[in-house]
Chains A and B, each alone.
Chain A
Amino acid sequence: MIDLSATSLLAKLQSGEVSSEEVTAAFLDRINAVESRVGAFLKVNSESAMQAAQAVDKKRRSGAPLGKLAGIPIAVKDILCTEGEATTCGSRMLEHYVPPYNATVVEHLLASDAIVIGRTNMDEFAMGSSTENSAYKPTSNPWDLERIPGGSSGGAAACLAAAMAPLSIGTDTGGSIRQPAALCGVVGLKPTYGRVSRFGLVAFASSLDQVGPMATTVEDTALLLETIAGHDRRDSTSAKIDVPQYTASVNSPLENLTIGVVPSHYQDGLDTEIESAVKEAIRVYESLGARIKEIEMPHAQYGIATYYFIAPFEASGNLARYDGAHYGYRTDQQTMLDELSEEANQTDGAGESPLVRMYRKSRSEGFGSEVQRRVMLGTYALSEGYYDAYYLKALKVRRLIRADYDSAFDQVDCILGPVTASPAFRRGEKTNDPLAMYLEDLYTVNANLAGVAGISLPCGLTSENLPIGLHLQAAPFQEEKLLKVANMYQSATDWHTRRPEIQ
């Protein structure tokens, strides 16, 4: 049962062949069996999930109307506020934070009668590409437990690959859905900026963050996107654009499909096995009748540099709210005051005010090193004298990157390429080299800067049996097209059916 897609499980639930209680129990059993080796979850809702499943079964028996995901277990990344449940964002800063409200996406899931089976591990404040920046624990890649699952939605991807949940919610600021989906061999979609409400999503970089669906098939991805998308009056950046019935169209191939390929994607640095797998995917599309067109994205090479200006700028502002005063971690007050009076004795008075010291100590003790690095980077680049040189420059390059996309989408329906330059790396391999870690987002980050939609789907395995992801991108609000095109590939191939044997 745990190998079935959400769509198949829904059919079985609707026909009465299985109950939600049975489905939920099967996934909880699987979690009991493998979670100690994978570490995808920060919290498993064993009891409340079973209660919710029983309630949905009862509702179904009574003939009451049911939501789109009635009785299907789903994992939620620990970055979406859930009323009454600790929402840690992978940080010590929010270890005991219990939100007084639900994120809009969480409300959509509850209204759809989905069963929230647990909260998944992530890089602290979604800053990272390996889930090693979680303040709580690392997550292993189910295909090779010595390797990272990608990040920041590493737990969200790993729980799908390990069949601990059929659906999962991730977030993507620079590649945080698509890169872990690629490295774990599952499907992950970053919607167009504005497609899904960000209300109740703990903010990292507000002009880049998007919540998105993760699943094992494109069809399930369509189903989950349909459930969570739409305008929300509480998020003024959510678009007032109707949500199509993605599930109604996802199985119809796109007529007259033109796919764009970017020659510079295949330059140095790209793993040769990934290159072969992606080129094989191009041949699959050709065999399905697609026209392949070479396009240029001349500013794509500036994506990482632009991103590492813009994201830290926005992060340094967003994370200013963690001040140890209103919520979150606060340093021990007595120790801090003692420290200050000792300093005052040594320096004849004039020291830092207790309030400023409280801020500084609370933040340095509550944030991990990557978060501090990005806050520092953003503060530095915004500090006096650098604003024009850095911030405005980056925003101008962002416009040029968007213009590359606009002209590409005048010519092609989708852009196809690799998601990552290499397969999952070993734990610890890049922890001391922040820049190398940043370059993990090379192929994904431009979609965030430009605000277009992107999806990662499995397209092969390396000789070491590690998953390879295929990246498809489409113009803003063209998720319907993107899902159709992605599903054409899955209908012709079986990479998405491969599952790891967890050692």
Chain B
Amino acid sequence: MSLSKEDVQRVSLLARLKLSDDELTTMTEQLGQIVSYIDKLSELDTEGVKPMAHALDLTNALVDDEPHESLPREKALQNAPRSDDECFRVPAVLGE
């Protein structure tokens, strides 16, 4: 499995990261090395093996539906880079 710089550029958009040209080059090289190492798994026959997503065999861990206090709005907003009294503020999504 080989990775091109264009692949890495495309993935960086999906990952919402912005890499400089130099960073893209290094990242392509490093990801290529890592992916070729971990590709070692393809040598194993896993036909019929059930995937294990989790260490505990838990299904539907439900709690009782008891009303309780939620985080107050001012606490939820206290770490926001920008907010007004009610909302998180972000740059315009659809233009000014």
Q: Which of A218-226, A329-337, A482-490 contacts B (4 or more CB under 8 A)?
A: A329-337
Chain B residue numbers with a CB within 8 Å of A101 are 71
Checking B13, B16, B40, B91 against A333 with a beta-carbon cut-off of 8 angstroms, the contacting residue is B91
Checking A325, A360, A451 against B56 with a beta-carbon cut-off of 8 angstroms, the contacting residue is A451
Q: Which of A464-497 contact B (CB under 8 A)?
A: 476
A438 within 8 A of B: yes
Q: Which of A6-14, A232-240, A267-275, A415-423 contacts B (4 or more CB under 8 A)?
A: A232-240
Please indicate which of the listed interface residues B11, B13, B40, B88 has the most CB atoms of chain A within 10 Å of its own CB. Answer: B11
CB pair A394 B90 closer than 8 Å:
no
Contact A236/B56 with A305-B41, A330-B81, A400-B46 known, Cβ cut-off 8 Å: no
CB pair B82 A330 closer than 8 Å:
yes
Indicate with 1 or 0, residue by residue over B8-20, a CB within 8 angstroms of chain A CB atoms. 1001111111110
Q: Which of A82-136 contact B (CB under 8 A)?
A: 96-98, 100-101
Instruction: Tell me the minimal C-beta distance from B31 to chain A in angstroms.
Output: 6
A324 within 8 A of B: yes
CB pair A376 B15 closer than 8 Å:
yes
Q: Which of A181-189, A276-284, A350-358 contacts B (4 or more CB under 8 A)?
A: A350-358
Chain B residue numbers with a CB within 8 Å of A193 are 55-56
Instruction: Tell me the minimal C-beta distance from B48 to chain A in angstroms.
Output: 9
Indicate with 1 or 0, residue by residue over B66-84, a CB within 8 angstroms of chain A CB atoms. 0000010001101111100
Chain B residue numbers with a CB within 8 Å of A192 are 55
Chain B residue numbers with a CB within 8 Å of A376 are 8, 11-12, 15, 17, 27, 31
CB pair B18 A361 closer than 8 Å:
yes
Checking B49, B53, B61, B88 against A236 with a beta-carbon cut-off of 8 angstroms, the contacting residue is B61
CB pair B92 A354 closer than 8 Å:
yes
In the bound assembly, the distance between CA atoms of A396 and B94 in angstroms comes to 44
Please indicate which of the listed interface residues A192, A305, A337, A399 has the most CB atoms of chain B within 10 Å of its own CB. Answer: A305
Checking A207, A309, A360 against B41 with a beta-carbon cut-off of 8 angstroms, the contacting residue is A309
Contact A326/B11 with A233-B63, A380-B31 known, Cβ cut-off 8 Å: no
In the bound assembly, the distance between CA atoms of A395 and B57 in angstroms comes to 14
Please indicate which of the listed interface residues A320, A357, A360 has the most CB atoms of chain B within 10 Å of its own CB. Answer: A360
What is the interface residue range for chain B against chain A?
35 or more
B30 within 8 A of A: yes
CB pair B46 A360 closer than 8 Å:
no
Chain B residue numbers with a CB within 8 Å of A396 are 46, 49-52
Instruction: Tell me the minimal C-beta distance from A301 to chain B in angstroms.
Output: 8
Q: Tell me what chain B mostly uses at the interface: helix, strand, loop, or mixed.
A: loop
In the bound assembly, the distance between CA atoms of A210 and B71 in angstroms comes to 25
Return the chain B residue nearest A447 by Cβ: B55
Chain B residue numbers with a CB within 8 Å of A98 are 78-79
In the bound assembly, the distance between CA atoms of A193 and B54 in angstroms comes to 9
A46 within 8 A of B: no
A197 within 8 A of B: no
Checking A324, A367, A377, A392 against B51 with a beta-carbon cut-off of 8 angstroms, the contacting residue is A392
In the bound assembly, the distance between CA atoms of A132 and B94 in angstroms comes to 41
In the bound assembly, the distance between CA atoms of A98 and B63 in angstroms comes to 28
Instruction: Tell me the minimal C-beta distance from B73 to chain A in angstroms.
Output: 11
Chain A residue numbers with a CB within 8 Å of B27 are 372-373, 376
Return the chain B residue nearest A401 by Cβ: B52
In the bound assembly, the distance between CA atoms of A305 and B37 in angstroms comes to 7
Chain A residue numbers with a CB within 8 Å of B13 are 360
Please indicate which of the listed interface residues B16, B39, B53, B92 has the most CB atoms of chain A within 10 Å of its own CB. Answer: B16
In the bound assembly, the distance between CA atoms of A356 and B14 in angstroms comes to 10
In the bound assembly, the distance between CA atoms of A435 and B93 in angstroms comes to 39
CB pair B49 A364 closer than 8 Å:
no
A363 within 8 A of B: yes
30 A-B pairs with C-beta separation under 8 A: A98-B78, A100-B76, A101-B71, A237-B61, A305-B38, A308-B37, A323-B16, A325-B80, A326-B88, A327-B79, A328-B81, A330-B81, A330-B82, A333-B82, A354-B93, A361-B18, A363-B15, A373-B30, A375-B17, A376-B11, A376-B12, A376-B31, A379-B15, A380-B7, A380-B35, A396-B50, A400-B46, A402-B52, A402-B55, A451-B56
Pairs of residues from A and B, 4 with the lowest C-beta to C-beta distance, nearest first:
A451-B55, A395-B51, A327-B79, A330-B81
In addition to A207-B55, A326-B88, A373-B30, 5 A-B residue pairs with Cβ atoms within 8 Å of each other are A100-B76, A326-B79, A364-B17, A380-B31, A383-B11
B residues with a Cβ closer than 8 A to A are 3, 7-8, 11-19, 27, 30-31, 33-35, 37-42, 44, 46, 49-56, 58, 61, 63, 71, 75-76, 78-82, 88, 90-94
